[in-house]
Chain A
Amino acid sequence: MNFKLLTVGGMAAMALSVSAAALWADEDAELVINGDMEMIVRADAPAHLDGALNTVYSGWVFRSDGTQAMQTDDFENPGMLFAEQGQQLFDTEMGANGESCASCHENAESLSNVRATYPQWDEEHGTVQTVEMQVIECQTEQMGMEEPWGINSGEMLNVTALLASVARGNVVNVAIDGPAQETWELGRDIYYTRFGQLELSCASCHEENYGNYIRADHLSQGQINGFPTYRLKNARLNGVQNRFRGCVRDTRAETFAVGSPEFTALELYVASRGNGLTVEGPSVRN
């Protein structure tokens, strides 16, 4: 693969290159899961990017052969173990009303359009909601749970992994207009704002330098179509906003909190940058 060739002979080319994308135009690895589920790992950039990117790439494209292979087979994908636990939680009664997710939603497959369209505007609450916020809403308003799951809790990650797994192959298409536009614009502002002592914005790495090395690893475009992600570095599922927090922390900034309005706005914006890619969570990354 071209990313890997960069290590050996690409240093000169990298120095000359203005746009990293030009270096891997012939990049052609395709992601097919279980032999029949075809994913879109590269797509024309959505119009709202206005030429900032020509093509959007799933983070899968940037990973090593071994890591890529793990995601091509559910048996090899450790994230699917968590999705299975999510299925058990889906069928478990919780809260004062003795209801499970399945009481209303029948099965996870009936929610297969969720992952591809969230975060989305919630008319009743007058805010943009992530999948996690929607789950918490169900738990507190429908199921009578006094202490809903934390956004970053194991239960929440397992259930969101389930919701992602049943949505695999669906094309990400979050709405950025109408009532969501204000939130989306806040997210865009955050994306392009330099944070921390290192004065890095999201765009510094994920728009201007994707494909290049950061320490011993290739920068991706920071697409979130594969979340929640099973990371080999910590052998567990990782949520989107927790990943944001890790990124912002690494710029040596005080980060926004998981579940904060800022990160929700950023999640909507980053999700919209991946409009056109397919949902592939739970994905495997390093």
Chain B
Amino acid sequence: MADNVTPRVRVPREASAGEAVSIRTLISHTMESGVRRDSDGNTIPRSIINRFTCTFNGESVVDVTMEPSISTNPYFQFEAVVPESGTFAFTWYDDDGSVYEDSADITVA
């Protein structure tokens, strides 16, 4: 079980219809690769976030498969076209089965 795992997202509160908004996400996570060894020479078991998804009103925006060489505290920035007011939902899937979620509302004026 990874410690201190906290998801964070930055989404603009408002946008105009059809605008591509910039979304930033970060989750604090050790992203232990599974190939390192501890001071006694034992392999430290792999423990990473292996999948990240973002949906907007239920529709998929991005769905990312993540591999062991990704650095600690993975950060994603991407753009999404916003057709209407709604909610971005973000989900991170941990190797240990934990699922971390966050969401952000956006209003189209």
Contacts and interface: CB of A to CB of B under 8 A. Distances in A.
**Chain A interface residue count: which class?**
under 10
A84 B26 contact: no
Given A88-B4, A235-B72, A81 B10 contact: no
A81 B10 CA distance: 15
A240 to B, nearest CB: 24
A214 to B, nearest CB: 27
A213 interface: no
A96 B72 CA distance: 34
Nearest to A78: B73
Interface string B1-33: 000101010100000000000001010100000
A24 interface: no
B72 A75 contact: no
Contacts of A85: 4
Contact of B6 (A75, A84, A235): A84
Contacts of B71: 235
The B contact surface, by secondary structure, is strand
A85 B5 CA distance: 10
A75 B28 CA distance: 12
A75 B26 contact: yes
A194 B10 CA distance: 49
Interface string A54-93: 0000000000000000000001001001001100100000
A88 B72 CA distance: 19
Nearest to B8: A75
B16 to A, nearest CB: 21
A78 B8 CA distance: 13
Interface in B27-45: 28
A85 B26 CA distance: 15
A85 B28 CA distance: 10
B21 to A, nearest CB: 15
A75 B4 contact: no
Nearest to B9: A75
A75 B73 contact: no
B24 A81 contact: no
A88 B28 CA distance: 14
Contacts of A75: 8, 10, 24, 26
Contacts of B6: 84
A23 B103 CA distance: 49
Interface of B: 4, 6, 8, 10, 24, 26, 28, 71-73
List of 9 A-B pairs having minimum Cβ-Cβ separation, nearest first: A81-B28, A75-B10, A85-B4, A75-B24, A81-B73, A78-B73, A75-B26, A75-B8, A235-B72
Given A75-B24, A235-B71, 4 more contacts: A75-B8, A75-B26, A81-B28, A235-B72
Interface of A: 75, 78, 81, 84-85, 88, 235
13 contacts: A75-B8, A75-B10, A75-B24, A75-B26, A78-B73, A81-B28, A81-B73, A84-B6, A84-B28, A85-B4, A88-B4, A235-B71, A235-B72
